[in-house]
Amino acid sequence: MLCEQKYGALLNNLSSPEAVEAELRAQGCVDFVGCSAPVPEGAGGAPEQDRLPEVTGTSSQDGETEREIGSRAAGEVAATPRLSPNIRCLVYPKGDISRFKPARPRAYGLLGYYLLDAASVLPALVLDVQEGHSVLDLCAAPGGKALALLQTGLLRFLCVNDVSSSRTARLRAVLRSFVHKELLTDDRVRITSFDGRKWEEFERNFFDRVLVDVPCTTDRHSLIEEENNIFKRARTKERQRLPQVQLELLLSGIQAARPGGEVVYSTCSLSQLQNQYVVEQALQQAREEHGVALEVVDLRPLTHLFRDTFHFAPDTHLGELVLPHLSANFGPIYLCKLRRLN
């Protein structure tokens, strides 16, 4: 983690995506999503027009996506997980530590890509957003994962929330730099600044998908950044409270999801206390205190699919963990997916 972090360029489907992708490919970048799960010819590519793009992996009669079928045909893994479509993230190949240039305005004055740790795209990908979904991003600022979710072009409604008003302002600015303002109307994208732990007090059993990307010890950042470091003595109590805050946020997100809905919990920490332990506690409390049964969705096929891009921890018993590695210095990102059974 002390070596330079690798980034990914999340392509903005609303601003010259083909031209931007061609430029990045000419520099040696590859779309780690598309190259791991190839989309059949003619099915991909977001049209550059005044709306969010169509589904890349179209549905077959039994609801299976072409992306799933494609990877089965390749004989990879029988149970390839369903991924949110249309998300493209370009990275320099393994071992290549070139840096991306800052994004510049393209069509409609919108930025061509958003730079982020490429592993941060995984929670949005595994959320499996489908046509007409209502999605809640409970801790959304500065907005990388919300932007990834918007790239699907499938959402009926996206609610992006962050307790911090200054970070919510940044989130709003990010969205405005990447999305046409006509698409940012309150009935399509709601931006709020509530304490996510209290969400269940006013909205329950509603969202098809919920992303709970919690505040954590941000391990990589904490190693290299002195300012406002969460490991400083003055922040000891706050740090010790983190697992409890994370648990309350996850429980709140679970209750905001509809029965049958899915929730992805993620952190950028290596700490089991903030990862598996929080999920275990949430499963137990959801069942015992709220009567909500959940199943844990197996994400091992995902690690297989993206094994050429990320280095996954070999033996997490609950969820998956992208470990920083010298040849693939992304992460850490922990993610666990839960499905509400009732």
Q: Tell me which residues in 207-226 interact with ligand SAM (CB under 6 A).
A: 213, 215
Range in contact with ligand SAM (rule: CB under 6 A) among 49-57, 155-163, 290-298, 313-321:
155-163
Spatial distance between the Cα atoms of 237 and 230, rounded to a whole number of angstroms: 10
Q: Tokens 């992304």 map to which residue?
A: 330
CA 315 to chain centre: 22
Task: Based on the shown chain and the rule CB under 6 A, indicate whether residue 243 belongs to the binding site for ligand SAM.
Answer: no
Q: For residue 90, give both structure tokens.
A: 């370009």
Q: Is 162 annotated as a binding residue?
A: yes
Q: Is the peptide bond before 123 cis (omega within 30 degrees of 0)?
A: no
21 contacts 31 by C-beta, under 8 angstroms: yes
Task: Based on the shown chain and the rule CB under 6 A, indicate whether residue 140 belongs to the binding site for ligand SAM.
Answer: yes
Q: Is 213 annotated as a binding residue?
A: yes
Q: Tell me which residues in 248-267 interact with ligand SAM (CB under 6 A).
A: 249
Query: Is 268 tagged catalytic?
Result: yes
Task: Based on the shown chain and the rule CB under 6 A, indicate whether residue 141 belongs to the binding site for ligand SAM.
Answer: yes
DSSP structural state of residue 254: H
Spatial distance between the Cα atoms of 153 and 50, rounded to a whole number of angstroms: 11
Q: Which is nearer to ligand SAM, 39 or 111 (CB)?
A: 111
Spatial distance between the Cα atoms of 21 and 29, rounded to a whole number of angstroms: 9
Shortest Å, Cβ 180 to ligand SAM: 20
Q: Is the peptide bond before 332 cis (omega within 30 degrees of 0)?
A: yes
Task: Based on the shown chain and the rule CB under 6 A, indicate whether residue 39 belongs to the binding site for ligand SAM.
Answer: no
Q: For residue 311, give both structure tokens.
A: 């280095």
Q: Which is nearer to ligand SAM, 167 or 188 (CB)?
A: 167
Shortest Å, Cβ 177 to ligand SAM: 14
Q: Is 26 annotated as a binding residue?
A: no
| DSSP H helical ranges for 115-182 | 121-126, 144-151, 165-178
Range in contact with ligand SAM (rule: CB under 6 A) among 133-141, 182-190, 281-289, 331-339:
133-141
Q: Is 144 annotated as a binding residue?
A: yes
Please report, as ranges, the residues that interact with ligand SAM according to CB under 6 A.
Answer: 120, 138-145, 161-164, 167, 195-197, 213, 215, 249
Residues annotated catalytic, as ranges: 268
